[in-house]
Amino acid sequence: MHGLFISFEGIDGAGKSTHIEGLADAFKTQGRAVTLTREPGGTPLAEKLRVMVLGDPMDALTEALLIFAARRDHLLRVIAPALLRGDVVLCDRFTDATFAYQGGGRGFDLKVLAALEQWVQSDEGLLGDPAGNSPMKPEVETVIEPHLTLWFDLPPEEAALRLAGARVPDKFEAQPVEFFSRVAAAYAERQRGHPERFARIDASPSREVVWQAVRQVFVAKGWLS
Ligand code: TYD
């Protein structure tokens, strides 16, 4: 796969959205094809699952299974084909969000999440046709994960102030600040486990200062000039 897979993470209110759009523009200006997508979601089926996950109360395993089902469809139909074409895939949240929200926030078993991650993100079956009927079996099975994850880190109290009154909150945005403290701690733990993949962005300063920090990560990697 020749494309670049980049995910964006952080607690609700950390302000990642405008920077994702800015990066899409920057890559397009350099002549790269960009696939802009999000999780849960990114395909018609996964967007339906998103509505359920963000709207309906459910037990934590049901939630994790729906999120990983959405992820499988998204990988199969959108992410893997885009990477094979050589696109830059900019994905608003990916599996780190599951470890942070379902694992950290809801306290769900991290070992089960890790097993689902291996199973769902295995490249076996992802490289064939989108129906998954005639997969090209790779020699060595690998787990597809982002090449780079930008983690927008903001204290939960500050994120809560930014979110207050912004819009009608979804199931997670309506959670108390203690929930987001656990989510933030789980993101920090994910970074410790994957230091080569993670880039932490201090999301506290002004949007322009944060944007310069974001740009710099890509310039340092030689991906943007
Ligand atoms: P978000 O990405 O913030 O989108 P928007 O900008 O439209 O609010 O919202 C997605 C929500 O889904 C967010 O609260 C985190 C949650 N989520 C999980 O709980 N687990 C996951 O695996 C993913 C991808 C998202």
pLDDT digits 0-9 by tens, 200-213: 999 999 999 999 99
So what's the pLDDT on residue 134? 44
Sign of the C-alpha dihedral computed for residues 31, 71, 116 and 52 taken in this order = positive
So what's the pLDDT on residue 126? 74
Amino acid identity for residue 104 in this structure: G
Q: Does residue 225 lie within any of the structural domains?
A: no
**Structural domain harbouring 50:** 4-220
Reported as a pLDDT band with limits 50, 70 and 90, residue 72 is very high
Please determine, for residue 224, whether its predicted confidence score (pLDDT) is greater than 50. Answer: yes
Q: Tell me the pLDDT of the chain averaged across its residues.
A: 93
Sign of the C-alpha dihedral computed for residues 129, 197, 48 and 167 taken in this order = negative
- The CA 134 to ligand 1 mean position distance, Å, reads 32
- The CA 173 to ligand 1 mean position distance, Å, reads 9
**In CATH, what number is assigned to the domain containing residue 186?**
3.40.50.300
Evaluate whether 59 touches 113 at the Cβ level (below 8 Å): no
What six digits make up the tokens of 46?
């996964």
Atom of ligand 1 nearest to the CA of 17: 6
Atom of ligand 1 nearest to the CA of 171: 14
Please determine, for residue 132, whether its predicted confidence score (pLDDT) is greater than 70. Answer: no
Closest C-alpha to ligand 1, atom 9 = 12
Q: Does residue 15 lie within any of the structural domains?
A: yes
So what's the pLDDT on residue 2? 86
Instruction: Tell me which residue of 37, 12, 10 sits closest to 23, measured CA to CA.
Output: 37
Evaluate whether 128 touches 135 at the Cβ level (below 8 Å): yes
Q: Which pTM does this prediction carry?
A: 0.94
What 3 state SS string does the chain have?
CCCEEEEEECCCCCCCHHHHHHHHHHHHHCCCCEEEEECCCCCHHHHHHHHHHHHCCCCHHHHHHHHHHHHHHHHHHHHHHHHHHCCEEEEECCHHHHHHHHHHHCCCCHHHHHHHHHHHCECCCCCCCCCCCCCCCCCCCCECCCCEEEEEECCHHHHHHHHCCCCCCCCCCCCCHHHHHHHHHHHHHHHHHCCCCEEEEECCCCHHHHHHHHHHHHHHCCCCC
Given the structure tokens 């020749």, which residue do they identify? Answer: 2
Q: What would the pLDDT profile of 28-70 be if each residue is shown by its tens digit? A: 999 999 999 999 999 999 999 999 999 999 999 999 999 999 9
Residues touching ligand 1 (Cβ under 6 Å) are: 12, 17, 39-40, 54, 67, 92-93, 97-98, 101-102, 172-173
- The CA 5 to ligand 1 mean position distance, Å, reads 18
* Candidate from 93, 167, 170 with most ligand 1 atoms within 8 A of CB, to mutate: 93
Q: What would the pLDDT profile of 141-185 be if each residue is shown by its tens digit? A: 789 999 999 999 999 999 999 998 778 899 999 999 999 999 999
Q: Does residue 106 lie within any of the structural domains?
A: yes
> Rounded CA gap, 175 and 220, in Å?
36
* Candidate from 11, 172, 173, 180 with most ligand 1 atoms within 8 A of CB, to mutate: 172
So what's the pLDDT on residue 133? 54
- The CA 85 to ligand 1 mean position distance, Å, reads 27
Domain count of the chain?
Answer: 1
- The CA 93 to ligand 1 mean position distance, Å, reads 7
Reported as a pLDDT band with limits 50, 70 and 90, residue 124 is confident
> Rounded CA gap, 162 and 103, in Å?
24
- The CA 46 to ligand 1 mean position distance, Å, reads 13
Please determine, for residue 1, whether its predicted confidence score (pLDDT) is greater than 70. Answer: no
Given the structure tokens 């929200």, which residue do they identify? Answer: 101
Atom of ligand 1 nearest to the CA of 98: 22
